[in-house]
Amino acid sequence: MLKLGVNIDHVATLRQARYQGKAAGEPDPADAAIICEAAGAHGITIHLREDRRHIQERDVWSIREIVKTRLNLEMANAPEILALALKVKPEIVCLVPEHRKEVTTEGGLEVVGQLKDLIDTRKRLNDAGIEVSLFITPDLRQVEASAKAGAQFIELHTGAFAEQFHEPEQRHGEIQRLVIAAKRAHEIGLQVNAGHGLNYQNLSSLHCVPHLVELNIGHSIISRSITVGLHQAVQQMLRLMQNDAA
């Protein structure tokens, strides 16, 4: 069964718009995590950025305490955040590239060029009982390097697919890249997640990508929750995923 991890970063984005620098404020992403799990989400995803633009350290601790499914902590391979992850002990860490001026994560991790550092970080996380995923573009070189790094998962960056969704020829090309990458990852022992830019309109086009374990979706679900509520937004996404798998 294809699983859904709900990224709740943008609940914190809304809070920070009014309560930046404050010790508390609303809405609380921990409350959102509880609602998402009650609606059937298989996991909660949060990204602690180096610039703390949305999720704060206090959120990481409070969400860790209440999540009963699976906590996925997205993070740059930065010493300060790695030290926190080793204390918090999420079920899985997804290592991502991070640039201060980007609106959202714009590309995949350059695993090939950072292999030694990523192996060191992966070992430290695994030794603490934390699984490791690498967020990569659907490129075979990056897939192969992820296996060399010893990661348990990759998360395929679906941003290019999402951007090209309304252009049939380009969309087909991006889907084929995802298919080829997922097949190769499975062959060499990697489990495969996917995420970035996925929404209620484009999700069904991913049904032909094999071996997917989990989709991580955030902005689309949080956006829809404004009109239908978070519980209903999560359930609508889960129904789409179930229909596509049928």
pTM of the predicted model over 0.75:
yes
Span 75-101, pLDDT tens digits? 999 999 999 999 999 999 999 997 655
Which residues are catalytically annotated?
47, 74, 196
SS (H, E, C) the chain: CCEEEEECHHHHHHHHHHHCCCCCCCCCHHHHHHHHHHCCCCEEEEECCCCCCCCCHHHHHHHHHHCCCCEEEEECCCHHHHHHHHHHCCCEEEECCCCCCCCCCCCCCCCHHHHHHHHHHHHHHHHCCCEEEEEECCCHHHHHHHHHHCCCEEEEECHHHHHCCCCHHHHHHHHHHHHHHHHHHHHCCCEEEEECCCCCCCHHHHCCCCCEEEEEECHHHHHHHHHHCHHHHHHHHHHHHHHHHC
The pLDDT, as a whole number, for residue 34 is: 98
Span 197-221, pLDDT tens digits? 999 999 999 999 999 999 999 999 9
CATH domain 3-245 topology: TIM Barrel (3.20.20)
The pLDDT, as a whole number, for residue 193 is: 98
